[in-house]
Structure 1
Amino acid sequence: MPPVILKTLFVQRDGAVVRMHQDTVVVTLEGATLARVPMHLLESIVGIGRVSFTSPLLERCAAEGRSVVRMTRQGRFLYRIEGRLSGNVLLRTAQHDAARSPDRSLAIMRAIVAGKVHNQRQLVLKAARDVADPADRAIVREVADDLARELRKLPSALHPDEVRGIEGVAARRYFLALRHLLAPPIREALAFDGRNRRPPRDPVNAVLSFLYALLTRDAESALLGVGLDPQIGFLHTLRPGRPSLALDLVEEMRPILADRVMLALFNRRQLQLSDFELLPGGAWELTEAGRRTLFGEWNRRKQVEIEHPLLKQPVAYGRLLDVQARMLARAIRSQGLGYTPFLYRG
């Protein structure tokens, strides 16, 4: 029997209360029951907006290693409640040593960026097959060639800024391709013209920002699960309050998880303009109904299995971050083994 992939419970009704009743998580609003989910089916609980958690629920989740997270309606992270940190202090000491070592840090940075750019290119090539307009298809294939050129530069990059520069050039070209992977009527209606954030100034970027926040939350949990410190990263510089290592781990997963979900949501017309609100100041935000649609597609994507190229066995997308966190811990522990990113094969 295949292993059960645990799910995330998203609660987004303002005023909702999440509590325990025996072995069941119960969500109520003004006395009415909105949902009942057996605890053993849940990996985590995410509250969006004004959602409350009772103390017995928090204590049970912490004791069993299930994370509880609060986010704003825009997807901004507020706080996380976890149980005792797993792993050992020797691994975290090795992580700090690796981050201070120019050679080891550079090698991990190159591997992360190589994984990200490779996966961006694979997504572009795969999605281009469904592009109907010849002009759009030509632009997308040109971007794929550009990404291949940036990949070839990585082995000779001898300074962190060179690696970050390659990543930045690749990202700009990639987001041009994403625009042309959206059907023409959709991208014109959504006014998507590349990546922007803080705040997102179009519906596509509102969805991307929200999905990236969910992905980062999952990456933090995966790193904590193997005993690594999510704050001490390599590609992302240290900054108070920033989960730099989680952001590192997210990079190779953005194209194959978040960006794929975004393209599916819009190209299949699962999300419409009516699923967004334009706020004062020009920020776009998903409505409650829009977030519900996003959560459904996100959870479906995480259930899909793909063969891991290194393990040579099927792994659900929802487990990839856990696998890659272990790969990263192995690379940090060992002086000889480098980090092997997940390379999507399309």
Structure 2
Amino acid sequence: MSRSVYLFSDGCLRRKDNTLVFEGAEGNRYLPVQNIHEIYLFGNVELTKSLLEFCAQKEILLHIFNSEYDYYMGTFYPREHLNAGYVTVKQAEHYLDPHRRMQLARRFVEGAAKNMLAVLRYYHNRGKDVADRMALMENLLERVEDVLEIPELMALEGNIREHYYHAFDAILENQDFVFERRTRRPPRNELNTLISFGNAILYSTVLREAYKTHLDPRIGYLHTTNFHRFSLNLDVAEIFKPLLVDRVIFTVIGKRMITKRDFEAKLQGLALKESGRKTWITEWTKRLDTTIRHRSVGREVSYRTLIRMELYKVEKHVVEGIPYRPFVTQW
């Protein structure tokens, strides 16, 4: 089973013989490379050239986060071993053709919206007052097929998600965690901090799964492809935010595993303390490893596997012309 490693402290990560060692204030932590597929760096961590060469050889991704607010800064993305030129060409063709790009972009918004509605329906059936928000979201979802431009589609998706986030207050019923409005870079309250932190982890998770396919993660469809970042992982992540990030939020707040004490004020906003990050990662890993019965394949699959299957569906769409249909939960 693949394993993710999370380093929260300051120190130096380097190669030692045929393994990795993290040298920090608490001593040396040895990291056998067998089955390590990605490392998340949250502290101020020094990296050596030999370390990067070794990670490239072992196909280990390094995800780097700002040590103050946990912003995602970038990924050391080793040379692709599965990347195929033909697939990249087909991806580019679908991006450059406005009609074909819009076809895919609409499906990402559709999948995201339907999974958001599924989450709200789950809580509505348990007595939470979210019916009005659901109705507003359903009305907006009906407009997806009529939108002709990507910016308009992204604005529509943003409106759907804003109504969805406002429903969190009715679900959580916790005065310490209220939505108010979506704030980023930096987030201004505790709930927004959890949303931003979880989304950043999800983007990196999808990027790792993309690395295992023939797809080029720099070519997305809902999010504009540019010279500065990956975008396909952002597209696919939209579908899984409600099922992964938001369900973890409801768990850690509902069970009081994370409280106001797990946050610290910064100059312009809030950030999670190490205690909160560790709690989040524990529950995040459990959620990724949770299995569900998948009707199409007729067996149990984990959410991590579902993410990779979603990427394979995108690949089949652009290469084989098999229409892409986003994963929608069947709760």
Give the TM-score of the pair, scaled to structure 2: 0.91
- Partner of residue 315, structure 2: 329
Q: Is the 8 A contact 2:176 2:190 kept in 1?
A: no
Q: In the TM superposition, what is the alpha-carbon distance from 1:22 to its structure 2 partner?
A: 5.5
Deviations 1:295-324 (A, max 9, x none): 111111111112334333322112222211
- Partner of residue 108, structure 1: 104
Q: In the TM superposition, what is the alpha-carbon distance from 1:31 to its structure 2 partner?
A: 7.3
Tell me, in whole angstroms, the C-alpha distance in 2 between the residues paired with 1:77 and 1:309: 34
Q: Is the 8 A contact 1:309 1:342 kept in 2?
A: no
Q: In the TM superposition, what is the alpha-carbon distance from 1:342 to its structure 2 partner?
A: 1.2
Give the TM-score of the pair, scaled to structure 1: 0.87
Q: 1:209 to 1:333 in 2, by over 3 A?
A: same
Q: 1:54 to 1:37 in 2, by over 3 A?
A: same
- Partner of residue 174, structure 1: 164
Tell me, in whole angstroms, the C-alpha distance in 2 between the residues paired with 1:46 and 1:273: 24
Q: 1:145 to 1:23 in 2, by over 3 A?
A: farther
- Partner of residue 58, structure 2: 64
- Partner of residue 185, structure 2: 198
Q: 1:87 to 1:130 in 2, by over 3 A?
A: same
Extract unaligned runs of 5+ from structure 2. Answer: none
Q: Is the 8 A contact 1:46 1:71 kept in 2?
A: yes
Q: Is the 8 A contact 2:117 2:134 kept in 1?
A: yes
- Partner of residue 134, structure 1: none
Q: Is the 8 A contact 1:206 1:284 kept in 2?
A: yes
Match of 2:76 among 77, 81, 104: 81
Q: How does 1:1-20 map to 2 (within 5 A)?
A: 4=1, 6-15=2-11, 17-20=12-15
Aligned partner of residue 171 in structure 1, secondary structure: helix
In structure 2, give the amino acid aligned to 1:151.
L
Tell me, in whole angstroms, the C-alpha distance in 2 between the residues paired with 1:124 and 1:298: 20
Using the aligned pairs only, state the percent identity. 26
Match of 1:316 among 302, 305, 315: 302
Q: In the TM superposition, what is the alpha-carbon distance from 1:330 to its structure 2 partner?
A: 1.1
- Partner of residue 339, structure 1: 324
Tell me, in whole angstroms, the C-alpha distance in 2 between the residues paired with 1:31 and 1:261: 29
Q: In the TM superposition, what is the alpha-carbon distance from 1:78 to its structure 2 partner?
A: 2.5
What is the number of residues matched between the two proteins? Answer: 329
Work out whether 1:154 is the aligned partner of 2:154.
Answer: no
Q: How does 1:131-146 map to 2 (within 5 A)?
A: 131=127, 137-138=128-129, 140-146=130-136
Tell me, in whole angstroms, the C-alpha distance in 1 between the residues paired with 2:295 and 2:151: 29
Q: How does 1:191-340 map to 2 (within 5 A)?
A: 191-281=178-268, 283-334=269-320, 336-340=321-325
Q: In the TM superposition, what is the alpha-carbon distance from 1:26 to its structure 2 partner?
A: 3.5
Q: In the TM superposition, what is the alpha-carbon distance from 1:232 to its structure 2 partner?
A: 2.1
Deviations 1:48-87 (A, max 9, x none): 1212344444333322222122211322223322322122
Match of 2:27 among 7, 32, 45: 32
Q: 1:310 to 1:111 in 2, by over 3 A?
A: farther
Q: In the TM superposition, what is the alpha-carbon distance from 1:88 to its structure 2 partner?
A: 1.0
In structure 2, give the amino acid aligned to 1:197.
R
- Partner of residue 113, structure 2: 117
Q: 1:199 to 1:260 in 2, by over 3 A?
A: same
Extract unaligned runs of 5+ from structure 1. Answer: 132-136
In structure 1, give the amino acid aligned to 2:325.
T
